[in-house]
């Protein structure tokens, strides 16, 4: 990320979720505040320069599908008794503002620059911060969840769902390991996405994202991801390409973008 600047990709994916609400049929992810949270923000067209309409559509659907995947796994964990949800690298994610359970607390962890920008955005958009939500500013490259602001607000003993969408790719391996190590020591579900080593189709996008100051740093094959998670003691429950989920959600695609991102649900049980 650019020093002192909020994440530009956080805005781009939030705008994609907002566009998904009206442009795509079927809609695979419904978010009644997706549009409000980006209202008045500037376009992020630099990421889609030269991209054909079908690639832009599948990318939007992939972003929507990962939020649907996370929402569904969080709902299942909450139904099973979990009462703490931690959104890592939250960006303009809106799950905490759609939480219907007064006894389920959310913690949003994000880079301090992005989090300050989000809080301002919420004020500008008139979106109320619910009493169930706490913010914890953390730069994963300089601190871990075990220190500072996150440690002060996380209930370490509580069953927790950690949601980590669209973040791993921007982190160096040491920061990924630190976070996995922290979560592995809790009673937890973990939901995240990761990119497989890039195909030619996504290399051009990687270049545009790097030009915006947020280079993609970490990729994994599915075998590498299984080895990594099992090495930390996680049970891998699901590791599925986004395209497969889109088929399940009624929007099948064979586009390579759909196989470039995989969604994981792992747990420490």
Ligand X SMILES: C[S@@+](CC[C@H](N)C(=O)[O-])C[C@H]1O[C@@H](n2cnc3c(N)ncnc32)[C@H](O)[C@@H]1O
Minimum distance of ligand X from residue 80's CB (angstroms):
23
Comparing CB distances to ligand X, the nearer of 165 and 229 is 165
Do 93 and 9 meet the contact criterion of CB atoms below 8 Å apart?
Answer: no
- Smallest distance from the beta carbon of 238 to ligand X, in angstroms? 18
Buried b (16+ CB within 10 A) or exposed e, 47-57: bbeebeeebbb
* Residues binding ligand X (CB under 6 A): 1, 7, 9-10, 13-14, 89-93, 110-111, 114, 138-141, 165-167, 170
46, 77, 129, 255 from 10: Cα distances, Å = 14, 26, 19, 23
Q: Which is nearer to ligand X, 65 or 266 (CB)?
A: 65
The residue assigned the tokens 């769902």 is 161
Hey, is 140 helix, strand or coil?
coil
Q: Do residues 115 and 134 lie in contact, with contact meaning Cβ atoms separated by under 8 Å?
A: no
CB nearest ligand X: which residue?
Answer: 91
- Residues 213 and 7: their CA atoms lie apart, in Å, by 9
Q: Could you tell me the smallest distance in angstroms from the CB atom of residue 34 to ligand X?
A: 10
Query: Could you identify the residue written with the tokens 């914890």?
Result: 136
Smallest separation (angstroms) from ligand X to the CB of 167: 4
Specify the residue, 3 or 157, whose C-beta has the smaller distance to ligand X. Answer: 3
Among residues 124 and 230, whose Cβ is nearest to ligand X?
124
Instruction: Indicate the Cα dihedral angle 171, 177, 179, 185, nearest 10°.
Output: 170
Q: Can you read off the two tokens belonging to residue 123?
A: 């004020």
Output the smallest distance, CB 223 to ligand X, in A. Answer: 25
Q: In the complex, what is the shortest distance from the CB of residue 117 to ligand X, in angstroms, rounded to a whole number?
A: 9
- The nearer residue to ligand X, 46 or 230, going by C-beta atoms, is 46
Nearer to ligand X, 192 or 269 (CB): 192
């Amino acid at each position: 990320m650019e020093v002192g600047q909020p994440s530009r990709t956080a805005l781009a994916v939030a705008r994609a979720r907002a566009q998904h609400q009206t442009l795509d049929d079927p809609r695979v992810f419904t978010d009644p505040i997706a549009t409000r949270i980006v209202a008045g923000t500037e376009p992020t067209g630099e990421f889609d320069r030269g991209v054909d309409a079908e690639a832009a559509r599948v990318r939007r659907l992939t972003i929507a599908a990962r939020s649907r995947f996370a929402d569904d796994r969080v709902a299942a964990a909450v139904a099973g008794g979990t009462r703490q949800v931690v959104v890592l690298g939250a960006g303009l994610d809106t799950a905490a503002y759609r939480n219907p359970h007064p006894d389920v607390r959310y913690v949003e962890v994000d880079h301090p620059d992005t989090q300050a920008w989000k809080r301002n955005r919420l004020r500008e958009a008139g979106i109320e911060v619910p009493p169930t939500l706490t913010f914890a500013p953390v730069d994963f490259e300089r601190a871990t969840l075990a220190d500072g602001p996150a440690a002060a607000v996380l209930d370490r003993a509580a069953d927790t769902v950690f949601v980590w969408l669209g973040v791993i790719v921007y982190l160096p391996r040491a920061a990924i390991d630190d976070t996995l190590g922290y979560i592995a020591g809790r009673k937890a579900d973990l939901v995240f996405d990761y990119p497989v080593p890039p195909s030619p189709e996504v290399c051009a996008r990687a270049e545009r994202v790097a030009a915006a100051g947020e280079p993609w740093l970490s990729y994994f094959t599915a075998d590498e991801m299984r080895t990594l998670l099992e090495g930390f003691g996680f049970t891998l429950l699901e590791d599925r390409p986004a395209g497969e989920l889109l088929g399940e959600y009624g929007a099948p695609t064979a586009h390579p973008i759909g196989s470039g991102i995989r969604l994981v649900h792992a747990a420490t049980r």
